[in-house]
Amino acid sequence: MKPTLNKQLGDAASVRDRILNTASALFYQEGTRAIGVDLIVERSGVAKTSLYRYFRTKDDLIEAFLLREDEDFWRQWDMVSAAHAGRPERELEAQLEWIGNRIARVGYRGCPQINIAAEYANESHPARKVAVAHKAELRRRLGVLARAMDLPEPDLFALQLGIVIDGALMSGRALHEEGPAQFLNTLARTLSAAARSLRKVS
């Protein structure tokens, strides 16, 4: 009896997911340059031909890894945003809290977007494009919150806070004795207070 189309599609998705799950774990822990296709094939338990059926090149696999990280990050952001709709100050606090908790989790090895950008200087590399777009989207969303908070120069605030977030993502738990979430919120309040004081002066 021939397998149904749904089963065939499910099997294909399962093989692709197994490859991507394995590659993602290895890429995140060891870096993309240190991991070869042969190791991914060995760890995932699939044939090399299967890997190349779903991912034409290793670069395609790296791009897929980063796109999935990107989707996961914004899915969490959107959930927090929906929970605090109409309260931008509280939303910003909550966004920084979950980002801080993400940094503090066991096994944290840095921001995958920053890691990829450091590994690939070539602006045309597909994964680097994903990383650059991710950071641009972060600044855009911070700018939206800054406008909702009625901060002067919201784009400048977004740029400043984006740099602070990147710094926390890069340094991880080691440099923040009070915890990354508190560190981020303290800096955010400092930046917003400074922005509002400039408005009063002018």
Q: What is the 3-state secondary structure (H, E, C) of the chain?
A: CCCCHHHHHHHHHHHHHHHHHHHHHHHHHHCCCCCCHHHHHHHHCCCHHHHHHHCCCHHHHHHHHHHHHHHHHHHHHHHHHHHCCCCHHHHHHHHHHHHHHHHHCCCCCCCHHHHHHHHCCCCCCHHHHHHHHHHHHHHHHHHHHHHHCCCCCHHHHHHHHHHHHHHHHHHCCCCCCCCHHHHHHHHHHHHHHHHHHHHHHC
Do 132 and 100 share a structural domain? Answer: yes
Do 93 and 23 share a structural domain? Answer: no
Per the model's pLDDT, the better-predicted residue between 190 and 7 turns out to be 190
Do 86 and 148 share a structural domain? Answer: yes
Do 88 and 22 share a structural domain? Answer: no
For residue 22, the domain's CATH number is 1.10.10.60
CA distance 89 to 154: 13
For residue 167, the domain's CATH number is 1.10.357.10
Q: For residues 110-129, give the mean pLDDT.
A: 90
Q: Report residue 163: phi and psi, to 5°.
A: -65, -40
Do 79 and 15 share a structural domain? Answer: no
Number of separate domains in the chain:
2
Q: For residues 72-86, give the mean pLDDT.
A: 97
Using pLDDT thresholds of 50, 70 and 90, give the confidence band for residue 174: low
pLDDT in tens, 154-169: 999 999 999 999 999 9
Q: For residues 72-94, give the mean pLDDT.
A: 97
pLDDT in tens, 25-76: 999 999 999 999 999 999 999 999 999 999 999 999 999 999 999 999 999 9
| Ramachandran class of 86: left when φ > 0, alpha when ψ lies in -120 to 50, beta otherwise | left
Parent domain of 40: 1-55
Do 150 and 188 share a structural domain? Answer: yes
Do 163 and 131 share a structural domain? Answer: yes
Do 39 and 79 share a structural domain? Answer: no
Q: For residues 168-178, give the mean pLDDT.
A: 72
Do 6 and 89 share a structural domain? Answer: no
Do 192 and 114 share a structural domain? Answer: yes
- Which of 10, 28, 55 is the last residue in one of the domains? 55
